[in-house]
Amino acid sequence: MILNPTSLPAAGDKPREQALMQAAQNLEASFLAEMLESAGLGKTSESFGGGAGEDQFSSFLIEEQAKHIVQTGGIGLAQSLFDILKERSNDG
């Protein structure tokens, strides 16, 4: 669960908006994790590799790093998604 106090709607706002922001942040974290993995983060080095264990658990490290990026401001994707989701939920 990712909560970024600077991006969340104010406490007086609807719980639905908080849920939308959380969903948007989770999506941003998933996107960042894929980008980090594609960039080669978590690949074992040839000289000091951690073997099969490192290979199996590197995805967890990448996910946590992506969540941390989102918690510290991210790349703005979560806010954009939140705005779109909020607009669409107000339309319907």
Domain positions in the chain: 58-92
91 to 24, 43, 69: CA distances (angstroms): 18, 45, 31
Q: Is 19 or 2 the better-scoring residue by pLDDT?
A: 19
Residue pLDDT, tens place only, 38-60 = 998 767 666 566 677 777 788 89
18 neighbors 59 (Cβ within 8 angstroms): no
| Structure-model confidence comparison of residues 77 and 52, the more confident one | 77
**What is the distance between the terminal CA atoms of the chain, rounded to a whole angstrom?**
27
pTM score, whole prediction? 0.72
Contact assessment for residue 92 and residue 23, using Cβ atoms and an 8 Å cutoff: no
Q: What is the pLDDT of residue 78?
A: 96
Q: Tell me the two tokens of residue 51.
A: 């073997």
pLDDT for the residue 53: 73
